[in-house]
Amino acid sequence: MNTCKRVNTRLFAGDVGRFQNPLPGTVVDSAITDKDTYEFYLVSVAARQGMTTPTRYTVVYDAIGTSPHMLELLTYKLCFTYYNVSGAIKEPSVIRYAHRLAALVGERGGRGHEPPQVHSGFEQKDPSLYFI
């Protein structure tokens, strides 16, 4: 799945002439999406100020084989599982974790530094969430 947070598309709710932000969880998977690829727009958080910006998701390869509605629901629910925020974030938590891990390796590795190493006893302990 490809995720793009920097989109110029704006979604509006309400009556004509009265612009409102759509509710969190709003999914648009027809009319404004590409007909040849499987993509959808998801509004996962409410805007505190101004207009909300949806996130565009393009499904490149579907290994799960489930319905589009279930995949969209899973994507929305994953926006609530980031450990550092009690509400939702704009993208699914696994994408934020991957971004933070890539930044950590990029900062610590290279330029004469060894990349970070996992502690030797990390995998022998009970499985738990490792905070990045």
* Residue 101 pLDDT: 83
- Kindly list the distances between the CA atom of residue 15 and the CA atoms of 7, 18, 22, 32, 64, in Å, as whole numbers in the listed order: 24, 5, 12, 19, 38
In this prediction, residues 91-113 reach a mean pLDDT of 80
Q: Report residue 124 as tokens.
A: 């022998």
CATH topology of domain 2-92: Nucleotidyltransferase; domain 5 (3.30.420)
Q: Which residue has the higher pLDDT, 124 or 58?
A: 58
pTM: 0.76
- What are the boundaries of each domain within the chain? 2-92
CA distance 16 to 18: 6
* pLDDT, tens digit (0-9, with 9 covering 90-100), for 27-80: 888 888 888 888 999 998 888 888 888 889 998 888 888 888 898 899 899 999
CA distance 14 to 18: 6
With a CB cutoff of 8 Å and minimum separation 6, the contacts of 68 are: 29, 38, 40
